[in-house]
Each structure stands twice: as C-alpha cells, then as structure tokens.
C-alpha cells in the first residue's frame, strides 16, 4: 500500500514535481504514465528515499518515508531506472549481496535465492559472471535483487526500457505474478500500450502534476475517443509527448 | 553495521580479485616493479661507478722516447700506456674518430726543460664534453701531477731543503658519515616508493567502488537497501584499505629482498633493511593506509565518472609526496611537531629506521595517532558526501 500526498521537488530552478498525490493498493498494478520529463522518476525516487521531497508526504504500508526512510526501504523492492549489476559477480552473488544488506540470515537467504532463480528462470546463467549477460538476463537479476527480501511493495521505474519483445513479455508475466501474490506494484512508463495492457489503475502525470487518474476504462469513458490512446492525447491536451 | 560492512567488504573484495587488470596494477606493478626498477637502476649505476675506479685507463703517449721515466711512472699507476707517433693534427683526429680517448703528447723540449730545472710541458688531449673521457683525463692528469710532485720533492732534497717547506697548509678531510647514513641519501627514495605504492594499491578499488559504481548505474539500487549510506561507504573504505595493506606488505618484502642485491658495500655504504627494519617500516606506514583509503574515496565520490576520478586521483597521489619533497629540499630533521603531519611523519620514521637512528618512541605514537585522526576525519567526510542527493549524479 503506497500513499502519496502533494509531493513536490525542485532541482535548482527546475520544478520537477509540483503536486503529485495518488494511492496504490495491494494486489493491484498502478501505472505512472507521462511524457519524458513529466516527473515520474523523481516521484519514484522520493518514494524510495534517495531524494527528499521539498514538501508533501508519502507512506509505504503506513511508514512515513521522511521520518523513517530505512523502515520504508525495508518494505519496498526497487528496480530503478539505471539498474546496473556488478559484472564481475555471478547472478547469484549479485542477488546474495543485496540479501546480506537486507540482513537476511544465511539459511533464509539461500532458500530465497533458489526460489528466485527458479521463479525467474535463471538457472541457466545463475552462476555465470554477469559480464556477458543479455539485457533480459540483466533485468531478471536486477528484479530478483529487488525482490530478495520479499517486499510487499514493488517499485519499477521504466522497467521495459531497452528490452526486446521476449524480455518484455517475461517481465509482464512477472509483474502479473506479483499482483496475483497480493503485492502492490507501482511502475512508471512513457509507453501507453504497455500501461494499458498491464495496469489496473493509471495515474497520468504531466509537468509535475497529476492530470488524471482512474482505471483504463474509466479514463477512456471520461475523455472519450475511440481508444485509450485518444483519451491520453486529450488528457495531455497536446498531440505529441507520448510514444 | 557489522553485517553491512562485511557484505560490502566481501563484494568489493570479490570484484577486485576477479578483475585481473585491477590486481595487476594495484598488487603487481606497484609493489613489485616500482622498487625493483629503482633498485635495478641504482645497482646499474653503482656497478658503473665502481668499475670505473678499477679499470685500467687506456692512454696513448706520443713522444714517449723523450720521457721514459714518466711513461714508466704512468704504467706503475695502472694506466694502460700505448706508445704512438703523431702530430697535433693526428691526435685530434684520433680523438675525433674515437680511436683514443686520452692522449698525452710529450714535446721534444721536455727532456731539456726537465734537466734545466724549468717547468717541463706535457700536453693532455681529451674531449671535455665527453664525461667519461674527461673523468679518465682527470686520472691521467692526477698521475702526472703525482710524478711532478715526486720530482719536485727530490729536487728540494738535493738542495738540502725539506720537501715539507713547500707544503704550507695540508688539508685532511674527515668523513663523519656512517656507512648507513650515506646509504640513506640513496635509499631516501625508498620511503617515497613505499608511500606511493601503498596509495596505488587502493586506488583502483576506491575509484571503482564510488565513481565506477555510479557510472555503471549500480549506485542507485544500492542506495535503496535499508542500510545507512555511511555504512556502505565505510565498507568501501575498509576494502580499499585492505588492498593498501596488502600492497604495503608486498612492497616492504620486495625491498627487503631486493636491496641485498644492490652492491652498496662496494662504495662503503650498508643497507640497513633487514627483517626487523622491514617490519618496523610496515608498522610505521600502516596508519597511513587510513588516510590514503579515505582520501581516495573522498575524491572519487565527488567526481562524476571513472575518467574524471582517475584524473583527480593522479593529482591526489602527489599530495602526500609534497611534504616529503619539501623535507628533502630543506633537509628537515625529525621533531615531535613534524610527527603531526601524516605522510611526512611516516617518511621521517622510515628514514630513522634506515639510518638506524633511534627516534623517541613517542614520535611513532604521535605519528600513528595524528594519522589515524586524519583518516577518521576523511572517512567521516566521505560519509557526509554520500548523504548528498547529488551523489547520484
């Protein structure tokens, strides 16, 4: 469960996020949709506490990200926009390192590792150094790393960027699996089709503000248009911007 | 905190150990090649200067018939004399063509002048711009003036005058340098090498663990783990320090083994670098690791990329060497106040060990404490730098 109230953040003279409020429920996939530079990543970064908001509040399972950032980080798994893995470590070692940082006991950690390797279909390359991994293999490692402590809330920042069709599909299945297990999944994207295909709830952000939110069907009926894409364009009030 | 430090340390250790290039540059190139190259060059130059004292200098003598006694004297002095015949032009040509380096020409008037009690002229030809030839000509000139001195002494005696009359003032040079202290002039470079190699040992890891982590995009996910950022950076400093300690141990062992092969004794020096001194050097330099690791981490954490970090760290490598250079120029002696300056204090302590000078035990204590204090301060600064939002770049 993620609750966001009037978050704002500026960098120098740029007001990246002006006023963003929304809620993402457990067992649902919530999509942050918006053109490049709309403030999606900045919002997520404030949620996973690498940035401090200028004003506003955010709670993860009731934990305030401002007063208890460590507690908030414990309850989330994050796949940031740049999710580099260590090329000299194997997939398993990459994931184990994060498990150790989460303070998992060795026994729990090794069991969880096996589970993740199995779930994400990584057994083929789990013990190879990550140096030669394909983009799809890398994203699996990064995702497994984010899920190693079995967080209830999962934050994904443009996870399908740079993925080929097969990897995108695999990722989509994973996200649906998380939803089925009752996780709260929040992910950002600028690709409308992707959001439409996956999300139960959509939050459209533009120029650092939430301009519209609701279910895909709800948005389409509110703004009309023959398709969801039409509806997006009308929401944003300009024909360009969305891919 | 301990768990985090251990996890970060192990990860940095694994990454570095598996990177052959990193290992090569931090633990092979530095600790092995730097001292070996320095001591190798030293050995070469010592061998050369030693052999130039012993060698029989070849000298060609023209007009040797006019001065058989002088020729005999030169031979007794260990010069390899060959008798030749030639004019001034011939002699210049020989030297120009490299046939001869030093040529002594004895004019026809030599015998007459000598018999008449007048200064007898001999000419010594050599190329003054050629260091080696000039040194050899010097030996020849010294031999000739020795001959001249002994003739003069005989003449004075023949006239009933003591040759001592001609010596109004006599200089006796007394060299008070002990063999070990003379060697230190040469071995002074060694403390510089020890400090530099120690720094180099942790440099790769310091860059990779901070600037490299950011450049690969692995820093942001790392910061989403539920551990304080300071603990992450402390773990990285620790890993960097570990490789510095290994480099330091390797370089002291390399020097201790290699210095025995340097023929210092042949020029009256002794290399005071046994196992005990090596261990003392290691211990005295150990606190410097704290400063080195944290300093490199601080610099690497405010640079944006690997390349930028490398550029800056190149400059940083010079910083600890500055006090040493100043100390060398001004010939600074160890004092309690100077022990407060990290890197300089290590340099002075190492010099003390090499010279077998007993420095007060308090000096080592002051050096250790002040260096560790600076290391702690820099580690704290590194932690602060990691708290900034800008760290993500």
For residue A42, give the 3-state DSSP assignment.
helix
Q: What are phi and psi of A188, to 5 degrees?
A: -105, 150
For residue B101, give the 3-state DSSP assignment.
coil
Residue A172 shares a structural domain with residue A228: yes
CB A219 within 8 A of CB A231: yes
User: pLDDT class for A243, splitting at 50, 70, 90?
Assistant: very low
| DSSP secondary structure of B360-379 | -HHHHHHHHHHHHHHHHHHH
Instruction: Indicate which CATH number applies to the domain containing A32.
Output: 3.40.50.300
Last residue of a domain, one of A150, A185, A207: A150
Nearest residue to B342 via CA among B298, B301, B377: B377
Nearest residue to B124 via CA among B56, B52, B58, B61: B61
d(CA B41, CA B39): 5
Of A89, A97, A142, Cβ closest to residue B7: A97
Of B4, B6, B15, Cβ closest to residue A88: B15
CB B277 within 8 A of CB B187: no
Contacts with B, A 63-82, CB within 8 Å: 70-71, 73-74, 76, 78-82
A87 inside 8 A of chain B by CB: yes
Range ranked top by mean pLDDT from A109-113, A175-179, B178-182, B273-277? A109-113
Which residue range(s) make up the domain with A237? 1-75+154-243
Q: Residue A102: its chain B contacts at CB < 8 A? A: 225-226
- Residues written for chain A: 243
Q: CB B220 to CB A81 under 8 A?
A: yes
| H or E element at residue A16 | strand A14-24
Residue A61 shares a structural domain with residue A165: yes
Of A73, A87, A88, Cβ closest to residue B225: A73
d(CA A122, CA A114): 10
pLDDT attached to residue A241: 46
Of B15, B221, B223, Cβ closest to residue A145: B221
pLDDT mean across residues, chain A: 88
Q: How far is B388 from chain A (nearest CA, A)?
A: 9
Residue A2 shares a structural domain with residue A52: yes
Residue A205 shares a structural domain with residue A105: no
Q: How far is A72 from chain B (nearest CA, A)?
A: 8
CB neighbour class for A86 (10 Å; exposed up to 12, middle 13-18, buried from 19): buried
Cβ neighbours of residue B159 closer than 8 Å, sequence gap 6 or more? none
Chain B residues within 8 angstroms (CB to CB) of chain A:
3-4, 6-8, 10-11, 14-15, 18-19, 213, 216-228, 389, 392
The ipTM value here is: 0.90
Half-sphere exposure of A81 (CA within 13 A, CB side): 14
Q: CB A88 to CB B19 under 8 A?
A: yes
Half-sphere exposure of B59 (CA within 13 A, CB side): 37
Residue A122 shares a structural domain with residue A177: no
CB A152 within 8 A of CB A6: no
Cβ neighbours of residue A178 closer than 8 Å, sequence gap 6 or more? A154, A185
Q: How far is B238 from chain A (nearest CA, A)?
A: 16
d(CA B15, CA B21): 11
Number of neighbours of residue A100 by Cβ within 10 angstroms: 22
A88 inside 8 A of chain B by CB: yes
Q: How far is B208 from chain A (nearest CA, A)?
A: 11
Q: CB B11 to CB A89 under 8 A?
A: yes
Where in chain B do CATH 3.40.1710.10 domains reside? 56-166
Residue A6 shares a structural domain with residue A63: yes
d(CA A40, CA A80): 12
Cα B79 to the center of its chain, rounded Å:
34
Per-residue pLDDT of chain B (393 residues; tens, 9 = 90+): 888 999 999 999 999 889 888 888 888 888 888 888 888 888 887 776 655 555 678 889 998 888 888 899 888 888 888 888 888 888 998 888 888 889 999 998 888 888 888 888 899 999 888 877 888 888 889 889 889 988 888 888 888 888 888 778 878 777 666 655 556 566 677 888 898 899 988 888 888 888 888 888 899 999 999 999 999 999 999 999 999 999 999 999 998 888 888 877 665 666 677 888 889 999 999 999 999 999 999 988 878 778 888 888 878 888 777 877 777 777 777 788 888 888 888 888 888 887 777 788 899 999 999 999 999 999 999 998 888 877 776
> Pairing relation of β-strands A153-157 and A184-189?
parallel
Half-sphere exposure of A57 (CA within 13 A, CB side): 7
pLDDT attached to residue B269: 62
Query: B166 in the Ramachandran plot: left (φ > 0), alpha (ψ -120 to 50) or beta?
Result: alpha
Cβ neighbours of residue B75 closer than 8 Å, sequence gap 6 or more? B81
d(CA A140, CA B46): 62
Of A70, A80, A88, Cβ closest to residue B220: A80
Query: Per CATH, which fold does B56-166 belong to?
Result: abc type-2 transporter like fold (3.40.1710)
CB A65 within 8 A of CB A50: no
Q: CB A97 to CB B216 under 8 A?
A: no
Residue A167 shares a structural domain with residue A230: yes
Q: Residue B218: its chain A contacts at CB < 8 A? A: 83-86
Quick check: A242 pLDDT over 50?
Answer: no
Mutation target among A88, A98, A129, A135 for the B interface, most CBs of B within 10 A: A88
For residue B102, give the 3-state DSSP assignment.
coil
Q: Worst-scoring range by mean pLDDT, A38-47, A58-67, B17-26?
A: B17-26
Q: CB A84 to CB B221 under 8 A?
A: yes
CB neighbour class for B199 (10 Å; exposed up to 12, middle 13-18, buried from 19): buried
Q: CB A76 to CB B224 under 8 A?
A: yes
> Pairing relation of β-strands A201-206 and A29-33?
parallel
Q: Worst-scoring range by mean pLDDT, A165-179, A198-212, B255-269?
A: B255-269
Beta-strand ranges (E) seen in B68-158 are 80-84, 103-105, 123-125
Quick check: A153 pLDDT over 70?
Answer: yes
Nearest residue to B345 via CA among B291, B270, B273: B291
Residue A32 shares a structural domain with residue A144: no
Number of domains in chain A: 2
pLDDT attached to residue B284: 92
């Amino acid at each position: 469960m993620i609750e966001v109230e009037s978050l704002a953040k500026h960098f120098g003279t740029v007001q990246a996020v002006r006023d963003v409020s929304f809620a993402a429920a457990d067992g649902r996939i919530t999509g942050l949709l918006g053109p490049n530079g709309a403030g999606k990543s900045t919002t997520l970064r404030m949620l996973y506490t690498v940035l401090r908001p200028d004003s506003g509040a955010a709670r993860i399972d009731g934990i305030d990200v401002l007063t208890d950032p460590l507690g908030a980080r414990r309850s989330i798994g994050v796949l940031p926009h740049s999710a580099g893995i260590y090329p000299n470590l194997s997939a398993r070692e990459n994931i184990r390192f994060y498990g150790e940082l989460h303070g998992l006991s060795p026994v729990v950690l090794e069991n969880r590792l096996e589970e993740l390797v199995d779930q994400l279909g990584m057994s083929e390359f789990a013990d190879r150094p990550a140096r030669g991994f394909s983009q799809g293999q890398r994203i699996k490692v990064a995702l497994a790393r984010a899920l190693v402590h079995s967080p209830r809330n999962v934050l994904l920042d443009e996870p399908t960027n740079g993925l080929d069709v097969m990897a995108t599909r695999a990722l989509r299945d994973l996200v649906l699996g998380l939803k089925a297990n009752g996780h709260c999944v929040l992910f950002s994207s600028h690709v409308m089709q992707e959001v439409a295909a996956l999300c139960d709830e959509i939050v459209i952000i533009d120029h650092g503000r939430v301009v519209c939110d609701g279910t895909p069907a709800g948005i389409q009926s509110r703004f009309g248009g023959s398709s969801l894409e039409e509806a997006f364009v009308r929401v944003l009030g300009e024909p360009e911007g969305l891919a | 905190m301990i768990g985090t430090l251990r996890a970060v340390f192990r990860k940095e250790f694994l990454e570095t150990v598996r990177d052959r290039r990193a290992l090569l540059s931090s633990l092979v190139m530095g600790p092995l090649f730097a001292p070996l190259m320095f001591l190798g060059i030293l050995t070469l130059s010592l061998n050369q200067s030693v052999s130039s004292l012993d060698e029989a200098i070849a000298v060609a003598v023209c007009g040797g018939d006019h001065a058989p006694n002088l020729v005999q004297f030169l031979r007794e002095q260990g010069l390899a004399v060959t008798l030749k015949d030639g004019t001034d032009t011939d002699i210049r040509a020989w030297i120009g063509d490299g046939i001869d380096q030093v040529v002594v020409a004895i004019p026809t008037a030599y015998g007459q002048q000598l018999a008449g009690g007048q200064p007898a002229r001999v000419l010594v030809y050599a190329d003054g711009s050629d260091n080696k030839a000039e040194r050899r000509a010097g030996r020849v000139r010294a031999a000739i003036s020795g001959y001249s001195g002994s003739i003069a002494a005989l003449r004075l005696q023949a006239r009933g005058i003591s040759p001592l009359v001609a010596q109004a003032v006599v200089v006796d040079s007394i060299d008070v340098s002990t063999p070990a202290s003379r060697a230190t002039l040469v071995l002074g470079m060694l403390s510089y090498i020890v400090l530099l190699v120690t720094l180099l040992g942790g440099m790769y890891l310091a860059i990779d663990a901070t600037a490299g982590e950011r450049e690969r995009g692995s820093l942001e996910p790392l910061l989403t783990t539920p551990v304080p950022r300071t603990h992450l950076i402390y773990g990285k400093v620790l890993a960097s320090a570990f490789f510095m300690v290994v480099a330091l141990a390797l370089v002291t062992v390399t020097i201790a083994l290699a210095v025995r092969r340097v023929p210092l004794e042949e020029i009256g020096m002794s290399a005071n670098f046994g196992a005990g001194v090596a261990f003392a050097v290691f211990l005295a330099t150990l606190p410097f690791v704290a400063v080195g690791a944290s300093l490199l981490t601080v610099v690497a954490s405010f640079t944006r990329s690997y390349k930028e970090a490398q550029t800056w760290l190149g400059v940083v490598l010079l910083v600890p060497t500055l006090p040493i250079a100043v100390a060398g120029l001004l010939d600074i002696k160890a004092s309690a106040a100077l022990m407060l300056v990290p890197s300089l204090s290590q340099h002075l302590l190492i010099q003390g060990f090499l010279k077998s000078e007993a420095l007060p035990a308090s000096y080592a204590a002051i050096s250790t404490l002040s260096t560790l204090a600076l290391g702690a301060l820099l580690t704290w600064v590194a932690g602060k730098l990691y708290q900034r939002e800008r760290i993500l770049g």
